[in-house]
Structure 1
């Protein structure tokens, strides 16, 4: 059985998602230098199955940056990796470039399915059946296959990530427990797309809160709310982590290979009115705070965060929906770049994961947030946010797609 200590751990949990395209037709040295100046330890790339980013990944490795390679296919579901893709998985592993692979992407979204297949039903079950085949093949080649990252959609009626995870792990436990336990014991890991949205804030004492939905604001509004109720959070990865523990009593590495704090497109961004809006300056501030919060608060299984997205057109990708998502625009470098470069080296040593609050009776609700606040502070929040309808704002977000 592969232990957490047996996996390669990146030099820093600070990562970045590279180009939204599947080629590396750009100045490799320039972009590696930018990554190094930002202290990047993990770099997510997408390979079209032909080794399209292999040489760039090789250079990243030579510069002490750990590549994660997604074997990209347009509308990959339902299906498994072609033999050509597996031949390049072998090369990445045997040539010492990387062992970390993603074999699927956001299968809870319609545009990741072949035309007409999304409506066929049984989606989580079909995905995990095919994932087991791919995972076994990648492990056989010496690689580490990721359990597919979902788009965090909470309980969206069509794309719910939480319901998808629950159904997927229940199917594995009922129908393929031995195979699932074997792959998770031999190198499989969990990829996520932990999207902060605007679910973060700095309190009066200057402390940043990224622990949504366990933070004081959410718990005052909706006492007892847990990550199994809303995963639109930096800690959304706790949903599959919790389900893996419940069904298989296992713990594997977790890396967020997209997500982070999104760049605001139209001046400011504010998905949830309970939390502050932010502009591009706030995006930089929150990204730095996010990395520092992760360094201080994540458990041993959390290996890294690769925010979406470093650049698009500047890396040879045609103009498109991702143009305004980037840290580097054509003719403009967003404030986040300088802010991350000024962070310096990562803090050393993650802290143990705080225990998750357990919903209780009304008389116990102040206790739900006492791990983040004193009892007096918790009660003050509950008293301040009267539990009437004007504060009952169930947060939902439409899916945010990616390549």
Structure 2
């Protein structure tokens, strides 16, 4: 914990980080306490190696109780259940979505009862599994009236932030010789164009353009939150909070051959612009909508804090694999002026709001008091 308190927490603050996803591994309790004490908002992942099928165990629920008592509210209990790797046995059954939703209903109810706010599980990047629709289909719309939120994994791949609306996807707009050479001259330890000439790249962009494409056609991108919000509004008539619990750019990624692989400098430029979108100061793109609470750039640090995972090391911003042991985005974010996010909704501060939630220890004739800095704002006597 000494290194975390002395270096990593100040580093998080200097980067402008506010939300931190934490797994409930050994040592997580002290880390979460430190995050809360320093004003960060943790999202706690109740980790299970292969969570499907299955429900939270007694030990898992004891962890929820423990973390609620110290101030954690956001809980994630499943991960990309549409993927074979997240299932015992290594494959998703034909009725997998029904099994996942039945388990999710039980787990969400258990977390709500304990005073936590459960996240509707994220599906994999680009998946269109409709968990909220299934929850409603199974007669549990009321569950969505509580303090719940939706987790998403809107990885950008190697696509621009405005994909699928960018000119490359819509019109097959050509790259310039200058842009092509600039990426080559950056000299990462890979060829960002994968041996393709400028003419080959531009021909591919023309051949595979998608005029008129919208987020409804391809959700494997940063703007996936627009797709999920539109679907939520169709189901519920309103938005619910959407929080990224994994996303961002990965150096070397080359998922879409119409675009260059993500170099360290591209990673910096695109991630920095995403942060400006979240702060509402981007000169290129609209501010993040109010329902989109946070990003979760994956991954800030891995082996440098003791992880043994080689897989996640390729994602890490801070790693011995990079010159100076850190990606350029770190320096750029430290230098970026931080701006308090302004909500886009025009509702005046002080307007009437509705608070939904669960009382941890309800009882007949107990009084629930809403208090702000010692001043009582409202009270209500519970019926049962």
TM range (shorter): 0.7 to 0.9
Counterparts of 2:113 and 2:144 in 1: how far apart (Å)? 13
Shift of 1:82: 0.7
1:146 aligns with 2:119: yes
Shift of 1:76: 0.6
Counterparts of 1:318 and 1:147 in 2: how far apart (Å)? 29
Matched ranges for 1:277-292 at <5 A? 277-292=261-276
Q: Please give the secondary structure, in 2, of the residue aligned with 1:187.
A: coil
CA 1:214–1:350 in 2, change beyond 3 Å: closer, same or farther? farther
CA 1:78–1:25 in 2, change beyond 3 Å: closer, same or farther? farther
Q: Tell me which residue corresponds to 2:57.
A: 82
Q: Tell me which residue corresponds to 1:62.
A: 37
Shift of 1:252: 1.4
User: Which of 307, 328, 331 is the aligned partner of 2:297?
Assistant: 307
Paired residues of 1:104 and 1:149 also in contact (CA < 8 A): yes
Q: Please give the secondary structure, in 1, of the residue aligned with 2:22.
A: strand
Counterparts of 1:237 and 1:43 in 2: how far apart (Å)? 19
Paired residues of 1:295 and 1:350 also in contact (CA < 8 A): no
1:348 aligns with 2:341: yes
TM-score, normalised on structure 2?
0.73
Q: Tell me which residue corresponds to 2:150.
A: 190
CA 1:137–1:247 in 2, change beyond 3 Å: closer, same or farther? same
Shift of 1:25: 9.4
Q: Tell me which residue corresponds to 2:363.
A: none
Q: Tell me which residue corresponds to 1:249.
A: 237
Q: Please give the secondary structure, in 2, of the residue aligned with 1:329.
A: coil
1:212 aligns with 2:175: no
Q: Tell me which residue corresponds to 1:323.
A: 313
User: Which of 107, 122, 141 is the aligned partner of 1:134?
Assistant: 107
Counterparts of 2:158 and 2:343 in 1: how far apart (Å)? 24
Shift of 1:40: 0.7
Q: Tell me which residue corresponds to 1:173.
A: 136
Counterparts of 1:300 and 1:119 in 2: how far apart (Å)? 34
Q: Which of the pair has the greater relative contact order for Cα pairs under 8 Å at 6+ separation?
A: 1
Larger Rg over CA atoms: 2
Shift of 1:295: 2.9
CA 1:251–1:119 in 2, change beyond 3 Å: closer, same or farther? closer
Shift of 1:307: 0.3
Counterparts of 1:127 and 1:28 in 2: how far apart (Å)? 38
Shift of 1:293: 2.2
Counterparts of 1:25 and 1:319 in 2: how far apart (Å)? 22
Paired residues of 1:184 and 1:250 also in contact (CA < 8 A): no
Partner deviation per Cα, 1:335-376 (whole Å, 9 max, x = no partner): 111111111213531446xxxxxxxxxxxxxxxxxxxxxxxx
Partner deviation per Cα, 1:169-216 (whole Å, 9 max, x = no partner): 44323222xx2x22221111011111111221xxxxxxxxx2221233
Q: Tell me which residue corresponds to 1:234.
A: 222
Counterparts of 1:136 and 1:348 in 2: how far apart (Å)? 32
Q: Tell me which residue corresponds to 2:89.
A: 115
Q: Tell me which residue corresponds to 1:335.
A: 328
Q: Please give the secondary structure, in 2, of the residue aligned with 1:243.
A: helix
Paired residues of 1:194 and 1:232 also in contact (CA < 8 A): yes
Q: How large is the Cα RMSD of the aligned pairs?
A: 2.1
TM-score, normalised on structure 1?
0.70
Paired residues of 1:263 and 1:326 also in contact (CA < 8 A): no
Paired residues of 1:25 and 1:315 also in contact (CA < 8 A): no
Q: Tell me which residue corresponds to 1:387.
A: none
CA 1:272–1:120 in 2, change beyond 3 Å: closer, same or farther? closer
CA 1:302–1:278 in 2, change beyond 3 Å: closer, same or farther? same
1:37 aligns with 2:20: no
Counterparts of 2:95 and 2:116 in 1: how far apart (Å)? 28
CA 1:319–1:186 in 2, change beyond 3 Å: closer, same or farther? closer
Equivalences, count: 300
Q: Please give the secondary structure, in 1, of the residue aligned with 2:224.
A: coil
User: 4+ runs of 1 displaced by more than 6 Å?
Assistant: none
Counterparts of 1:120 and 1:275 in 2: how far apart (Å)? 35
Q: Please give the secondary structure, in 2, of the residue aligned with 1:107.
A: coil
